[in-house]
Amino acid sequence: MVVRSSTTPVRRAAHAELTVRTWAGFGSPIVAVHDVDGHGGSFQHLADTLGRDVTLWAPDLRGRGGTDSSEPWGVPAHAEDLAALIGQHLFTERDTGPVVVVGHGLGAHVAARVAGDHVELVQALVLVDGGAPRALPDGVHPRAVAKDALDTIADALPSLPHRVDRAAVAADLASMIVSPAGAGGIFEARCPVHLVRAGHGLAVGDEPIVPDAVVERLRDGGVHVANDLVLPDATHTSLLGDDVAAVEFAVRAAGA
């Protein structure tokens, strides 16, 4: 089933005008936040899988898709944009209650930051291969990891079918890997957290982005991990592609 989508500009006073892709359904709205090199359309397969059971809102973060590249960038800035979207356009205009927020990669960090800073807005989190501080090898500086991550994806950015601002990507990678404010929001969340993790990183054979040790650290830190779904053969990217059924399962388990 293919669910038609529409895009709508949503203005946040004095900040970015977010372009939001909406798949209209009959159920409660779910907000989905894309990865560092993605855009709202990255959730097309998830929307198709969920069908008409839910309404899915997926904004383009600053510097991606139809949203302009105005600064500031970084996880806290994106989180405030997302909180404004939920608070102004879902709570106020549509009279909804707290919503399920799905995040992939960078989007998971943004979703977790919103749940930590605005507990009244988020019913549950679905964190897809992200949202937790990275497990770094001994002696490796987080800035080196952020630089390596940028080097890995930078050459592919010009060939993507949607606009991605390289400077925004660099700032966001640094924010979610180096900055405690960017990586630590999950420890302040008070809602249930549903994890979906890939057994491989960006490619088959790469170390997983969220290994078991990180999940144990979340539990030890008081995070309410309601579900932890691991797909051993999946990659970070396939979780929104061929393996999207696992994300659908988590979304429904979260209350959608």
Domain hosting 75: range is 5-253
- Residue carrying structure tokens 């507990």: 119
Nearest CA-CA partner of 135 in 203, 200, 213, 199: 213
pLDDT digit string, tens, across residues 62-110: 999 999 898 999 999 999 999 988 988 776 566 678 999 999 999 999 9
The number of C-alpha atoms within 13 Å of 232 and in the hemisphere containing its C-beta is 0
Query: Per the structure block, which two tokens stand in for 146?
Result: 């952020």
Compute the mean pLDDT over every residue in the chain, rounded to the nearest whole number: 91
Cα distance between residue 59 and residue 126, in whole Å = 16
Cα distance between residue 81 and residue 83, in whole Å = 5
β-pairing, 193-198 with 225-231? Answer: parallel
The model's pTM:
0.94
User: 234: alpha, beta or left, given left = phi > 0 and alpha = psi -120 to 50?
Assistant: beta
What CATH number did the domain enclosing 13 receive?
Answer: 3.40.50.1820
pLDDT digit string, tens, across residues 109-152: 999 999 999 999 999 999 999 999 988 878 888 999 999 999 99
CA 193 to chain centroid? 13
Number of domains present in the structure of the chain: 1
Query: Per the structure block, which two tokens stand in for 173?
Result: 């990678």
